[in-house]
Amino acid sequence: MGLKITALPSGFVRGVAGSGVTLQRNHDRTFDLQMMFFAITGGDHVVLVDSGTSDEAFVREQHGYKSFQRPEEEEPTRVLAEAGIDPADVGTVIYTHLHWDHCSNPELFPNARFIVQAEELAFAMDPVPIFKKAFQRTETAQPPIVSVLGRVDTIRGRKEIAPGITAIPLPGHTPGSQGVLVETDAGGFLLAGDCIDRYENWEGDGATQAHLPSASFINLIDYYESFAVIERLGAEVIPGHDPRVLERRVFG
Ligand SMILES: [Zn+2]
């Protein structure tokens, strides 16, 4: 049996300003953003890509996202159970980056190693002020990964994590953002993290821009180089926040 990717929901925000999702484009529209994490099954242990969000009350209080909703049916242990996954069977969690909406709940996985780019971990501990909240590095909260630091393995650059599962650095959105390339029987898929929020980011503006960065970035030059890396991979892109990913749900 080959590898299979299952998208798991973890809350959402509706009506986000278009130009916040696609830099300098879509000023006159809004987008819905779905928070997600992903399970890769079919290998010798379950691999997760990201680990979801905290509960709604915590997110509203700590992050000021009054419009964030995480209905009961999107609570992480429940979505994992529905996907037939026992958290104790998760052997590896690969973090695309350490923004709060991707890396909460690590304590749910007692037998997992947590893999992150070294540069991302360093930045999460000491972000520039405007990004402190995004990394949950505040006076009232701490980055979720801190609770499992003893089980964190940092990597530098591209690395095969398990057969058919490769971490691909895609900096720009954050310093150590990475995607995860998964080779399935149905071809290669790239879990792009927040390098590609929605399909609109990858599809561009249909005129002068082949791809559109998010308005949330640390380095636009790196961001465009990451687009070029993705083009060369030739894999199907799975965006990090597009509700349409959940409609399809299973890849591979
Ligand atoms: Zn992010």
Q: pLDDT band at 1, cuts 50/70/90?
A: low
**Domain count of the fold of the chain:** 1
What is the pLDDT, as a whole number, of residue 65? 85
SS3 content of the chain, % helix, strand, coil (to 5): 30, 30, 40
- Residue 234 Cα to ligand 1 midpoint, Å, equals 23
Q: pLDDT category, 66, cuts 50, 70, 90?
A: confident
Query: Residues 132-177: pLDDT tens digits?
Result: 999 999 999 999 999 999 999 999 999 999 999 999 999 999 999 9
The alpha carbon of 182 and the centre of ligand 1 are apart by a number of angstroms equal to 20
CA of 45 relative to ligand 1 center, distance in Å: 26
> Which residues, 6+ apart, have CB-to-CB distance to 124 below 8 Å?
98, 135, 137, 143, 145
Write out the residue range of the structural domain in which residue 97 sits: 4-251
What's the 136 CA to ligand 1 centre distance in angstroms? 12
Mean pLDDT, residues 4-27 taken together: 97
- What per-residue confidence (pLDDT) applies to 14? 95
pLDDT in tens, 236-246: 999 999 999 99
Q: What is the mean pLDDT of residues 196-217?
A: 97
What's the CATH code of the domain at 112?
3.60.15.10
pLDDT number for residue 81: 98
Kindly report the number of other CB atoms within 10 A of residue 12's CB atom: 21
Confidence at residue 69, expressed as pLDDT on a 0 to 100 scale: 96
- Whether residue 64 is predicted with pLDDT greater than 90 in this model: the reply is no
Mean pLDDT, the chain, integer: 97
Centre of ligand 1 to C-alpha 196, Å, is 10
- What's the pLDDT tens digit per position in 83-119? 999 999 999 999 999 999 999 999 999 999 999 999 9
Distance 1 CA to ligand 1 centre (A): 32
CA of 240 to the centre of ligand 1 (A): 9
